[in-house]
Structure 1
Amino acid sequence: MLIVRLILESFRFAWNALRMNILRTTLSLLGVTIGIFAIIAVFTLVDSLERSIKDSLNFLGTNNINVEKWPYGFGGGPYPWWKYMQRPYPTYDEYKFLRDNVKNAQGMSIFTVRGGVTAKYESSSSVDLDLLGVVHGHKDVYEIPIEKGRYFTPQEAEAGRNVVILGFRPAKELFPNQSPIGKSIKIKGLKYHVIGVIKEEGDGFLGAPSNDENIYMPYRSFLKIYYSGQRSGVESHITVKGLDKDIGLVELEAELRGLMRKKRSLKPKEEDTFALNRPEAIANFIGSTFDVIGLAGWVIGGFSILVGGFGIANIMFVSVRERTHIIGIQKSLGAKNYFILFQFLFESVFLSVIGGGVGILLVWLLSFVSLGSLDLVLSLSNIVLGLGVSAIIGMASGIIPAAMAARLDPVIAIRSQ
């Protein structure tokens, strides 16, 4: 009951200070408001950017390891590209070898992409598309939401049949008023039978790849178009989806490294001629970059909060001086020092939280501003962070005035008028 009484009285005093000296109090709280606004606005923007970018990277899949020629260059320092120039790209034979021998995988695919492709149907054309050659197991690694029709059968994929699945844009541009299913389109002068259409995804954030621009065909059909001599003129990638129980994909990575070295007949002291890349490395790199931006937000907002803290301390010093007589009466009636201490301390915290709350309100209003494809969302964690920082600033700013009030001599305090 005592705590409730303290809180209620402190809130009443804080509200009276705000209401009776609204200009002075508002100006004093402005620093806290601006500081919390700056910090939470930066954090909200960073969180929204990071979420949008990571969502746009969903096409990379999750829990995957990619077997590729080039390693990702997120380790810092110079990138020794000259070491990787002579490496071969993964091949279909290597894919089949891994598919038949890997134990710690729930899905595997080999695929290749060629951009700038044009598809035609009668007098209609759809240009600047991405053509993907994939195996049947691609759907077990990456999400391909079929809206109409169906996916490739294992027989179609293995035989390299001339069948395709269209993304939303080529389907709309080539067949604006009819269903594409069962029709034939031309790519590079060859006819392909349309068996499916992918559900519309919309534009990816910052131009990230989208299935809307894609045309899928069997990997071996793709090689019929882009093939020269003894080696394919394509850049293939093998992606292996690990088991959920394999935490960190440690077992899968060791298994892939051993099998690839065996397939390429590498001696124990020879370096790998392949890279095992993890898509989450990109997300981690993005996260570390945004951590730096978040630190900048703390620095920018910190100066404003510091000014706001001094403003609240000033309010509390004035409040102690104006209520010295009341403090004397309370003490003469038996109020303990801690009661006076907490009364002013709570008042300081309430004032600071009010200032911080206004800053958070401004960020919330900012979230309604249209920023194109970026969806600005004020998270509950950022709200709690803003209010928590405000409370800490209020406590730090009010502790000295509150201690001074608690140590006042009741006789001297009553005589002050």
Structure 2
Amino acid sequence: MKFLRQIFESFRFAWQALRTNLLRTTLSLLGVTVGIFSIVAVFTVVDSMNMNIRSQIDSFGKGVVYVGKWPWIMSNSYPWWKYINRPNMKYAEYQYLKDNLENAQAISIMDGRMTTLKRKSNSMEVRLAGVSYDYNAISDVPVGEGRYFMPSETDNSAFSIILGAKVKAALFPNQSDVIGEEIKVNGIKFRVIGTMNLKGEDLISLGGSPDDRAYIPYTTYANVFQKDQPEPDIAIKAFDWDAGQETLEGEVTGLMRGRRGLKPAQEENFSINRLDGAVKFFDSIFAQLNVGGFFIALFSLLVGGFGIANIMFVSVKERTNIIGIQKSLGAKNYFILFQFLFESVLLSLIGGFVGIGIVWLISLLPLGSLTLILSFKNIFWGLFTSTVIGVLSGIIPAWSAARMDPVTAIRSK
């Protein structure tokens, strides 16, 4: 109990010293505040970007593999002519995979291009996608009004269309209910069967924002747009979105090689792509940003740490006489050491709390498509870093104060 009481007294002395020298305390914690703000802000922005991008990538389908002519990540050593001379994916290959795959939960063929949609005097250039029926089981199609395609529409080249929220607003500016209305695509009339909910701006946009997109059946798209050079992709969703992708990828490879008559020694003339490749790409970028941000913040923390250490040496010098009196009255070395160590740590922690508070205030501001989330992990690391800086900055001044000779200290002025 005596030890704990002395620890509490050391803490009280430290708090009194900080309150007595408010101006010096404020100037001292500025460096730590800037450093902790920098490091927590960098980690918060990077983590928030990572979460937002992962969420947006997941909306395109977890556990999905994409079979197509081109790989998403090019190899520098791979000859371009091999890619160019590869055959395009065919609708018959989609049907073959659909009939023979055992590990697929859903399979869809899709293609798209930029084109202009018209309705009377209104028009808008959109990303028009042709999709087969199972597409909404692979990627999110948030139909708000109307309905999604029926199998008969996607199989029989129906002239039906689903509009994104911004497309609907552009073509029907003063009309709320547009189901059953007609628009023109390439001079051909399409009937609106559904409209999608407004999603808003994305941090990234794979294939364009859903708000600026429109969907028609793939068979219709093929008849209207693919008479020259079709380059569709086939999207296949595994039953188990994590472990099942490997099994599904192996099955697809075997079926496609057999369908195209490739011999064992021949390499694939198709590519199988996965969204986790994009995730790994962004992870590598975020890792570099974290490292860069840490070193930038480290300089601020070093400046703040040296500032606190300098103030602590001044504080020890000013209170040398008091230290001598305390020691002559029986104060132990650890009692003196804890006074100055607690003062240093408190000073650093106050700076840390202020820096974290500024990040929290910034996270409340609207930042467009980026939503900042200050996580408990980043708060913990900010406070932990503040504590470490406080200990490192104050340990030498506190140790020198604790080792003072009481007689010499009392005689000092």
TM-score, normalized by length of structure 2? 0.90
Report the Cα offset of residue 266 of structure 1.
0.7
Asked if 2 retains the 8 angstrom alpha-carbon contact of 1:326 and 1:414, the reply is yes
Question: Is 1:367 aligned to 2:363, yes or no?
Answer: yes
Question: Is 1:89 aligned to 2:85, yes or no?
Answer: no
Q: Which moved more, 1:234-243 or 1:27-36?
A: 27-36
Structure 1: tracts of 5 or more residues without a match: none
Change (3 A) 1:226 1:245: closer
Provide the secondary structure at the position in 2 that maps to 1:136: coil
Question: Is 1:99 aligned to 2:98, yes or no?
Answer: yes
Q: Which residue does 2:184 correspond to in 1?
A: 186
Partner Cα separation in structure 2 for residue 353 and residue 227 of structure 1: 65
The one-letter code of the counterpart of 2:96 is F
RMSD: 2.6
The one-letter code of the counterpart of 2:124 is V
Matching residue within 279, 291, 304 for 2:287: 291
Matching residue within 268, 279, 282 for 1:272: 268
Partner Cα separation in structure 2 for residue 74 and residue 285 of structure 1: 13
Q: Which residue does 1:376 correspond to in 2?
A: 372
Change (3 A) 1:243 1:10: farther
Question: Is 1:166 aligned to 2:127, yes or no?
Answer: no
Q: Which residue does 1:152 correspond to in 2?
A: 149
Question: Is 1:196 aligned to 2:194, yes or no?
Answer: yes
Change (3 A) 1:83 1:356: same
Give CA deviations for 1:299-349 in whole Å, capped at 9, x if unaligned: 222122112111211222233333344444544555443343333322211
Give CA deviations for 1:36-83 in whole Å, capped at 9, x if unaligned: 2222222233333334444444453222111111112266x4664332
Partner Cα separation in structure 1 for residue 170 and residue 278 of structure 2: 33
Change (3 A) 1:89 1:373: same
Partner Cα separation in structure 2 for residue 112 and residue 6 of structure 1: 75
Partner Cα separation in structure 1 for residue 88 and residue 66 of structure 2: 12
Asked if 2 retains the 8 angstrom alpha-carbon contact of 1:74 and 1:281, the reply is no
Change (3 A) 1:300 1:227: closer
Asked if 1 retains the 8 angstrom alpha-carbon contact of 2:122 and 2:170, the reply is yes
Asked if 2 retains the 8 angstrom alpha-carbon contact of 1:124 and 1:173, the reply is no
Give CA deviations for 1:270-321 in whole Å, capped at 9, x if unaligned: 1111111111212221221122222222222212211211121122223333
Question: Is 1:315 aligned to 2:311, yes or no?
Answer: yes
Partner Cα separation in structure 2 for residue 218 and residue 416 of structure 1: 91
Change (3 A) 1:4 1:105: farther
Give CA deviations for 1:92-125 in whole Å, capped at 9, x if unaligned: 111111112222222221111111x22233x243
Matching residue within 136, 139, 143 for 2:136: 139
Q: Which residue does 1:233 correspond to in 2?
A: 229
Partner Cα separation in structure 2 for residue 330 and residue 339 of structure 1: 9
Provide the secondary structure at the position in 1 that maps to 2:283: helix
Report the Cα offset of residue 352 of structure 1.
0.8
Give CA deviations for 1:336-382 in whole Å, capped at 9, x if unaligned: 43343333322211111112222222323333455443333433322
Report the Cα offset of residue 141 of structure 1.
0.4
Q: Which residue does 1:68 correspond to in 2?
A: 68
The one-letter code of the counterpart of 1:40 is V
The one-letter code of the counterpart of 1:23 is L
Q: Which moved more, 1:46-55 or 1:398-407?
A: 46-55
Provide the secondary structure at the position in 2 that maps to 1:195: strand
Asked if 2 retains the 8 angstrom alpha-carbon contact of 1:118 and 1:125, the reply is no
Report the Cα offset of residue 411 of structure 1.
4.7
Change (3 A) 1:171 1:245: closer
Structure 2: tracts of 5 or more residues without a match: none
Partner Cα separation in structure 2 for residue 37 and residue 360 of structure 1: 6
Change (3 A) 1:262 1:204: same
The one-letter code of the counterpart of 1:188 is N
Partner Cα separation in structure 2 for residue 146 and residue 305 of structure 1: 50
Q: Which moved more, 1:279-288 or 1:391-400?
A: 279-288
Provide the secondary structure at the position in 1 that maps to 2:134: helix
Give CA deviations for 1:252-281 in whole Å, capped at 9, x if unaligned: 111111111111111111111111111121
Number of aligned positions between the proteins? 411
Partner Cα separation in structure 2 for residue 343 and residue 391 of structure 1: 15
Partner Cα separation in structure 1 for residue 378 and residue 9 of structure 2: 29
Q: Which moved more, 1:334-343 or 1:381-390?
A: 334-343
The one-letter code of the counterpart of 2:274 is R
Question: Is 1:47 aligned to 2:43, yes or no?
Answer: no
Give CA deviations for 1:210-243 in whole Å, capped at 9, x if unaligned: 2111221111111110233xxx632201111122
Provide the secondary structure at the position in 2 that maps to 1:107: strand
Provide the secondary structure at the position in 2 that maps to 1:351: helix
Change (3 A) 1:340 1:211: same
The one-letter code of the counterpart of 1:156 is E
Provide the secondary structure at the position in 2 that maps to 1:205: coil
Asked if 2 retains the 8 angstrom alpha-carbon contact of 1:6 and 1:343, the reply is no
Partner Cα separation in structure 1 for residue 159 and residue 77 of structure 2: 44
Partner Cα separation in structure 1 for residue 203 and residue 7 of structure 2: 47
Give CA deviations for 1:136-177 in whole Å, capped at 9, x if unaligned: 111110111111111111122112222221221232233332
